Amino acid sequence: MTYRGVTMLKTENIKVRFAPAPTGYLHVGGARTALFNWLYARNKGGKLVLRIEDTDAVRSTEESTKAIFDSLKWLGIDWDEGPFFQSERKEIYRTYAERLLSKGFAYESEDVKGTHKAVIFRLPSSRKIVIKDIIHDDVEFDTAVFKDIVLMKSDGTAAYNFACVVDDHLMGITHIIRGDDHISNTPKQVLLYEALGFPLPNFAHVPLILGPDGSRLSKRHGATSVGQYKGEGYFNKAFVNFLALLGWAPGDNREKMSTGEIIDSFGLDRIGKKGAIFDVKKLQWLNGVYIREMALEDLTGAVIPYLESAGIVDKDTDREHVKFIVSLVQERLKTFSETPAITGFFFTKDIFYDESAVKKYLLKEGVETILGKIICGIENEERFDVENLEKCFVKIKEEMNISNSKLIHPVRVAVTGSAASPPIFETMVGIGKENCVKRLKNTLSFINDGDFPFKTQNVPPPNPIE
RNA sequence: GACCCCAUCGUCUAGUGGCCUAGGACACAGGGUUUUCAUCCCUGCAACACGGGUUCGACUCCCGUUGGGGUCGCCA
């Protein structure tokens, strides 16, 4: 089997790894790296190892480790071996460091900064190192541009490049798939493989994920952690689908793909070389596609936490009622988190009015007459359902000899406070007869005294749920 | 600054010398459907960074330029 001209040995025993440092939440960049490793392993029937690179005792936290596990779980990424913690493998690294020391490849530092002497690898003065990268083909470095490599820090822990090489070898990693930002570490690691007498694994450096301005995605670009996207109400399957399409494409114009389809089509040979800008608009679109396809029951379950944390529904709210409301907004949703904002008026006692909608539809000639007739009509209907409401509206429409929209628009604003809503009859049923009548009557009095409770600009923000 | 990487519509991408007057999707614009919004449908917009080669023929290969990005820690 060959990829970009590189012959790959033992493709039947693929083993890859994801090796995050637990110094913060899982970044979308890290998530994509994890995903590509996982997809490759699953596609090849290989194995994925999870290794926590917590050699930096100061910056590593248990909280971060937990957050990373949570995010991986949310993404649906599972692993076959590990998690291994580098903090528990000090003796192993020490042994190999001593081996390099005794063979003369490394020396101990003069200045003692900690309790130990640092062990440092002596770099050959000038040597060309060619990395055979599956994505980039050959990349050449001259060792003259590097400084000597720290193997063991003076606090007794192993440094990144060393621990990484020792572990990747001991854990039997065949393919190292990681971000492009590691490519300049690779020649250093190659030197260590050689000195240690380890065979070289295959390397695949995947391009970075970029922010809207083309620079590496970072906090200043907004949401960058997987947890944030979860909290903002993205569906995990949609997020995974989107992430997979960042830097990789199946080649046949498919966009919406199930995880299984992605696994089947995935290959390192179709990963691009160019950094990819994280386009939230496309994520939102894809998320909307998934939401529209969700079973109502599932969507309701996904959305309830947001309604609860917004204080709009509680444990006692009738779930069937919530489900009905959700069914009305399903095709309007891009993320779960916007549900409170667009369904609030169904649940709250009082509503606030959109100022421009009021001006446009309520402060007009004849509106009071129309609303009055609607109130009468509703109160006289024995059953408050879509069918009867429609009959009632038609009757008034004919009586007054006016168009449908002349009737419907004012009523919509009166009962929802907004010019946009799901179909009016369903919406009214969702609001309930009593509430509708009350709002209609209130509206009448607001029109009279010109004292509408308008919506303020600061709509409550979505409540991120971690 | 040194080293490395990258370069197709605004964005994600298809494209491996002729099938390309460059395809798809998002975004955007316009139209249709709808009682509004959304959905859905249709249409439009818009790209091979530049300059040299190689070749009968380059988006595709080579060189250079420009532009962007990454890395230069006893962080990972």
In the block, tokens 């909307």 appear at A288
Question: Measured in angstroms, what separates residue A173's CA from nucleotide B74's C1'?
Answer: 26
As averages over each run of 10 residues, the pLDDT of chain A (466 residues) reads: 42 89 97 98 98 96 98 98 97 98 94 86 93 96 95 96 98 98 97 97 97 92 94 98 98 96 97 97 98 98 97 93 97 97 94 91 88 90 89 90 91 96 96 94 91 71 42
State whether residue A17 is helix, strand or coil: strand
Question: What per-residue confidence (pLDDT) applies to A12?
Answer: 62
Question: Measured in angstroms, what separates residue A240's CA from nucleotide B76's C1'?
Answer: 25
Burial class (CB in 10 A: 0-12, 13-18, 19+), A466: exposed
Question: Under 8 Å CB-to-CB from A6, ≥6 apart: which residues?
Answer: A132, A134, A137, A202
Using a 7 Å CB cutoff, list residues 172-201 of A near strand B: 180-185
**Can you tell me the distance from the alpha carbon of A226 to that of A72, in angstroms, rounded to the nearest whole number?**
9
Output the six-digit token pair for A446: 């607001």
Q: What is the pTM (predicted TM-score) of this model? A: 0.93
CA distances from A114 to A100, A110, A118, A156 (A): 21, 12, 8, 8
Question: What per-residue confidence (pLDDT) applies to A464?
Answer: 41
CA distances from A204 to A43, A174, A260 (A): 16, 11, 23
CA distances from A62 to A33, A52, A58, A67 (A): 21, 11, 11, 9
Q: What is the pLDDT of residues A300-321, one digit of tens each?
A: 999 999 999 999 999 999 999 9
CA distances from A256 to A37, A283, A373, A392 (A): 20, 11, 49, 43
Determine if strand B comes within 7 Å of the CB of A33: no
Question: What per-residue confidence (pLDDT) applies to A126?
Answer: 87
Given the residues A10, A103, A219, A273, the one annotated as active site:
A219
Residue A219 among the catalytic residues: yes
Question: What per-residue confidence (pLDDT) applies to A458?
Answer: 52
Determine if strand B comes within 7 Å of the CB of A109: yes
Using a 7 Å CB cutoff, list residues 203-232 of A near strand B: 207-208, 210, 213-216
3-state secondary structure labels for all residues of A370-412? HHHHHHHHHHHCCCCCHHHHHHHHHHHHHHHCCCHHHHHHHHH
Q: Crossing angle for the helix pair A424-431 and A386-400, nearest 10 degrees?
A: 120
Determine if strand B comes within 7 Å of the CB of A327: no
Question: Measured in angstroms, what separates residue A240's CA from nucleotide B48's C1'?
Answer: 30
Considering only CA atoms, which residue is closest to the C1' of nucleotide B70? A181
Q: By C-alpha distance, which of A413, A464, A408 is closest to A442?
A: A413
Nearest nt (C1') to A216 (CA)? B69
Determine if strand B comes within 7 Å of the CB of A136: yes
Torsional sign, CA A25, A27, A32, A34: negative
Using a 7 Å CB cutoff, list residues 360-399 of A near strand B: none
